[in-house]
Amino acid sequence: MAATLRFSAADLLRCRFAISPAFETLSAIRLTLPAESPGQHQPWLAGLTDRLDLRPITLLQPRRGYTPDFLSPPPTGPHATFDDDLARIAATPPDRVAAEIARSLADTPGAADSATGRLLRGDPAEVLATLTDLIRAAWHELVEPVWPRVRALLDADVGFQTRRLAEGGLDRLFAELHPSLRWHDHTLIRAHGDDDHRDLAGAGLVLMPSAFKWDQVVVVLDEPWQPTVIYPARGTGGLWQPAPGPADAALGRLIGRTRAALLIGLTEPATTTTLAHRHALAPATVSEHLTVLRDAGFVVGERHRHEIRYRRTDLGAAVVNGTGARR
């Protein structure tokens, strides 16, 4: 299964980048769920203190299904602020609130009849006020304290991708934007996920890097969004890495800083291209270091369909845990 976006000549001229603080907040909220894998965001998650009751929002974020669009309005550009986004959320017409909540609840069996579901099916104006307050609280609790770091990562990704676009056009931009994306014959293809095939027909495309949506590429085609591809930002593997402590530094001296970072960051199986994107390295560089780690017995590559995914061996895990390195 795949999603394909077919570009016309007009679409090639209407590609832009955007950043959405509201979308980052919703994605951060999702990572607080026990069923979600935080991946490289585990250090951020472990550092959270007070946990808000976010069930009215998490119930509207099915693992596979529809999340109301009004909870994260279409981004206007790369410089939007959270207050801008929140004002647009608060201005959502009540009939749209009711319709999108009903659509979302229908994707989770039993959700509409749960206590939280009944709350969400109440007066749309009151429900909107409740959700707006929760998103504001989640921003202040989960995202705002780390936003300078997250924003710097997103800005760096936009800068890098913009330079790549200027140097080689869309061919070069899409060639390495994310491992799950391919560009062929004026068509952008996202492997995996739901089937969706669309001629953009002059609507153009928004490209939106995300820090907290770290594990997949999302294609948004529903109005009022301009067709949008949300992709994990380049370099998220180093987002929460602290300054090397004595043990981490010792591991770096033993096997090299880059190999140590790759080994420490390999919290779950990943391909060479995924690790290259996550650590902002060239795929050939990652492949070279993985070969050394594999030969040393620290990692092993296992075939998963058409991919080779690398994971730590017991020896590799012991080296990381034994040095006190953070995972």
**pLDDT at residue number 153:** 93
Q: Give the class (CATH, top level) of 241-322.
A: mainly alpha
**pLDDT at residue number 56:** 96
Per DSSP, what are the bridge partners of residue 218?
230
User: What is the per-residue DSSP string for 82-121?
Assistant: HHHHHHHHHT--HHHHHHHHHHHHTTSTTGGGSHHHHHHT
What does the pLDDT look like over 152-174, one tens digit per residue? 999 999 999 999 888 888 888 98
**pLDDT at residue number 273:** 82
**pLDDT at residue number 82:** 95
**pLDDT at residue number 245:** 58
Q: Quick one: tokens of 170?
A: 């869309």
SS3 content of the chain, % helix, strand, coil (to 5): 50, 15, 35
β-strand pairing of 299-304 with 307-312: antiparallel
Q: Which residues of the chain have pLDDT under 70?
A: 1, 193, 242-248, 323-327
Other CB atoms within a 10 A radius of the CB of residue 292 amount to: 14
Q: Listing from the earlier edge strand, what are the strands of the sheet with 205-210?
A: 15-17, 205-210, 228-232, 218-220
Contact between 40 and 211 (Cβ < 8 Å) = no
**pLDDT at residue number 247:** 60
Contact between 87 and 76 (Cβ < 8 Å) = no
Contact between 234 and 17 (Cβ < 8 Å) = no
Q: Is 288 helix (H, G, I), strand (E, B) or coil?
A: helix
Q: Quick one: tokens of 41?
A: 């965001």
**pLDDT at residue number 193:** 67
For the chain, give every domain's residue range.
1-234, 241-322
In sign, the C-alpha dihedral spanning 244, 246, 248, 253 is positive
Q: Is 4 helix (H, G, I), strand (E, B) or coil?
A: strand
Q: Quick one: tokens of 44?
A: 């951020």
